[in-house]
Structure 1
Amino acid sequence: MKGSITVVLHQPYALGWPLVNAASPIAIALGTNIQKRHISSTTKTSDPTKILAQQRLNRPVSPHLSIYEPQITWCGSIANRITGLVLSGSLYLWATSYLASPLLGWHLDSASMAAAFSALPIIAKVALKGTVAFPFTYHSLNGLRHLMWDTGYGFTNEQVAKTGWMVVGLSGACALLLAFMY
């Protein structure tokens, strides 16, 4: 036929396999495997930025967390990650300072830490113990909840919400109990 161009791509993988439509590495390297579509043109010309702005108005907007109602499932998941980071970060910070204390002249042995803690007022002791106890109890109880899920129990929406609020309540109660202990 006069005026038509036929392009044949040699595909070494097209031997009756399911990869018949796969392009060869040579075709990919040369850019000859790119599908092209014809541009439909109109007689009236318009500003391309206006066309782009109109297309952007027609695109769907991706939802964000701000449009969702907070649920115990994702709040609990975020809280579990945060408490894990708080616990592990404070452990690493304390362990590093404990190991560096002889070089820096600090006294972080048990006797000096107990003496410093006993010198604090009662309200400071309770606040400090509660600050440490709540992340520990929440992360521990939520870990037990995850172990329960690993056995295959508690996957319905009602059970997940019920156990989520139960972990929050028990964590608060246990943290208060630990904070007010002598």
Structure 2
Amino acid sequence: MLSPHALGLTPSLRRAAFSPGKARPSMQNNVMKNAIRSSTSLKPEDGTTILNKQRLQRPSRLGFCAAHVIEFVHGLPDAVKYTGKFNLALPFSFHPWNGIRHMLWDSGKFLTVKGVYSTGYAVLGATTISTLVLMFQ
């Protein structure tokens, strides 16, 4: 990446920054006009009008809406739907159960190797059950 130092512009930039009297007067006038222009306030209805004009100039959507997405998913085979549900439900099931496990560790419980393994199996069991419940709802 080209920096001002690599291009040898550092001394000239420093001179321009610390000697504002040497800057072009037309540039100073433009800066002041822009500062004044940007600080003027609008009436609420004028702001709404500008916003509505900008909304009309936005590019259109990508060509699909919620109805098309629902229709597409409805047409998928059941195996694909359940695989997708499983992939979404698993992290949402595992995270809370494992969080409870960690809170138990923070309270000083189940810190033995046997306790760690037993809570791990309990988390996996609870995750399996809650994932299946979420999948078939």
Give me the TM-score of the superposition, normalised by structure 1.
0.37
Q: TM-score, normalised by structure 2?
A: 0.48
| Higher fraction of helix | 2
